[in-house]
Amino acid sequence: MNPSNTLIKDLTQGNIRKQLVHFVLPLMMANALQTAFNLVDMFFVGRYAGTQALSAVSIGGQITMLMFSLYLGLATGAQICVAQAVGSGNRGQLNGLVGNSITISVLVGLVTMIVIPLAGPILTIMQTPAEIMGKTVLYLRICCYANILIALYNSISGTMRGMGDSRHPMVFIVVATVVNIVLDYLFIAVFKWGVAGAAWATIIGQSSAAVVAIVFLYKKRKEFGFDFKMKSFRLEGRYSKPLFQIGVPVSAKALFINLSFLFVNANINHFGVVSIAAAGIAQKVLSVMNIVSNALNDGTASIVGQNFAAGKQERVQKTVWTAAGIGLAFSFILIALFLLFPHQIFGIFTRDQEVIAVSRPYLACCAIMAFTFALMSPTIGLINGVGNAALNMVIAFADGVAARIILSLIFGYGLEMGAVGFYLGNCLAGFVSVIWGGWYFLSGRWKKRKVLGN
């Protein structure tokens, strides 16, 4: 393949700070649009359908996020495998890696559709209040209809990030967000479909992004080194093994974290609709920090993956330090906003004065988590980039299952802080990832890893 006729970008040379910024900015924009995607749902539902509908969408969104975490894990597997293949100069592997990644994502998307008939029992386990059960079941069932396309979109985006292309995945999100905003207004504000309208707007928007991604990959198949032949989609051990080697632990990590979130949220649900709505808004507001932290995670992973495979360890170290500086600067701005303007921020999403009245403690918790996100993202990106997804999974277990559940129980019931206590325990658990990830980076143990496929 002629290097000049490719969309693959070499991240092993040049100014690291400039490369990181240029790579991360489109990711930040994509994450900002994804956040807008979610916030628009909350805005229209909260404004035009009421607190019960807002709570239903919040709970239903927790389940869909659990499924999406599987897709994101597999996408990360594709991203790291592709990044290391590019960095090591072994681009002949790309065709098999892309094809196997697509096949795996479609199969996983199909499997997760079993949630559709199980929506009711799952929500019962989560202690969903009876008054919003019907609306929540409806929202969740509709959201599951497009699982295959959503999984496929994430796989293609992960592949492109591994190749150093963060711009086109942003374009796909632009499509999804624009479609979602237009349909949210039409379905919720005009047609008054409530939670069903929010669900249909979501899956149509996400499916639109998936279709655009598939068409783009097909048209640019030569530039990406993928031939789109049927045999390339056949699962082969030499390609699927490294994909699973990274993707399964990362998916397991996300499952641990999200299951612990479900545990926390199930207990928050026990305290009623106001607490559910408040926690839901706080989580959506906190997603603003995810704009930067997820972008830094993905950006660090791709740059580290290529440079680690190329044997350039000094560039790996500088990438992590640079990412940490960017994350901290952004987190300090958000922390100030969360602490100074809690009522105004909650007031954007609801007119319910009971919900607004509890905004201050929830946003104080968000301030804690914004700080931990800034510090954990670069080191988690490092761990993924060098291919040590198993460690990531262990850290997630300690963070999610051990720390989050134990701390939330202590603050929620032991100290009788109620719903806010559970949310506080949830936020403090992030320090486990910060400490462990920081130790792994500073100790230099990551330097002993082998390149995937070797």
Question: Each residue of 267-282: pLDDT tens digit?
Answer: 787 787 788 888 888 8
Q: Is the pLDDT of residue 201 over 90?
A: yes
User: Number of folded domains in the chain?
Assistant: 1
Residue 445's pLDDT is what? Answer: 92
CB 418 within 8 A of CB 412: yes
What is d(CA 111, CA 148) in angstroms, rounded to the nearest whole number? 9
Select, from the ranges 16-25, 63-72, 87-96, 345-354, the one with the highest average predicted confidence (pLDDT).
Answer: 16-25
* Residue 31, token pair as written in the block: 């994450």
What is d(CA 349, CA 39) in angstroms, rounded to the nearest whole number? 8
pLDDT tens, position by position, 377-416:
899 999 988 888 788 888 878 876 778 888 889 998 888 8
CB 448 within 8 A of CB 316: no
pLDDT confidence tier of residue 453, bands split at 50, 70 and 90 = low
Least confident of 318-322, 338-342, 448-452: 448-452
What value does the mean pLDDT take over residues 300-319?
Answer: 91
Percent residues over pLDDT 70 in the chain: 98
Asked if residue 56 belongs to a domain, the reply is yes
Asked if residue 183 belongs to a domain, the reply is yes
Asked if residue 32 belongs to a domain, the reply is yes
What value does the mean pLDDT take over residues 239-265?
Answer: 81
Up-side HSE of residue 349: CA atoms within 13 Å toward CB?
28
Please state whether the predicted TM-score (pTM) of the whole model is above 0.95: no
pLDDT confidence tier of residue 6, bands split at 50, 70 and 90 = low
Percent residues over pLDDT 90 in the chain: 22
Least confident of 69-73, 180-184, 313-317, 377-381: 69-73
Asked if residue 353 belongs to a domain, the reply is yes
What is d(CA 97, CA 84) in angstroms, rounded to the nearest whole number? 11
Calculate the average pLDDT of the chain. Answer: 85
Least confident of 92-96, 99-103, 334-338, 350-354: 350-354
Q: Is 190 exposed, middle or buried (0-12, 13-18, 19+ CB in 10 A)?
A: exposed
Output 147 or 258, whichever has higher pLDDT.
147
Residue 1's pLDDT is what? Answer: 41
> Cα(first)–Cα(last) distance of the chain, in Å?
23
Q: Is the pLDDT of residue 246 over 70?
A: yes
What value does the mean pLDDT take over residues 226-248?
Answer: 87
What value does the mean pLDDT take over residues 205-217?
Answer: 91
* Residue 297, token pair as written in the block: 């995670």
What value does the mean pLDDT take over residues 430-435?
Answer: 89
Q: What is the DSSP letter of 256?
A: H
- For 154-176, give one letter per residue: b (16+ CB within 10 A) or e: bbbbbbbbbbbbbbbbbbbbebb
Residue 196's pLDDT is what? Answer: 93
Asked if residue 4 belongs to a domain, the reply is no
Residue 454's pLDDT is what? Answer: 59
Output 224 or 215, whichever has higher pLDDT.
215
pLDDT tens, position by position, 322-331:
999 999 998 9
Asked if residue 454 belongs to a domain, the reply is no
DSSP string, 18-69: HHHHHHHHHHHHHHHHHHHHHHHHHHHHHHHT-HHHHHHHHHHHHHHHHHHH
Q: Is the pLDDT of residue 248 over 70?
A: yes
Asked if residue 327 belongs to a domain, the reply is yes
Least confident of 4-8, 209-213, 329-333: 4-8
- Domain of residue 384, residue span: 11-448
Residue 5's pLDDT is what? Answer: 43
Residue 199's pLDDT is what? Answer: 92
pLDDT confidence tier of residue 4, bands split at 50, 70 and 90 = very low
Q: What is the DSSP letter of 187?
A: I
What value does the mean pLDDT take over residues 38-63?
Answer: 81
CB 358 within 8 A of CB 214: no
Residue 2's pLDDT is what? Answer: 42
Q: Is the pLDDT of residue 442 over 90?
A: yes
Least confident of 75-79, 108-112, 119-123: 119-123
Q: Is the pLDDT of residue 249 over 70?
A: yes
Asked if residue 2 belongs to a domain, the reply is no
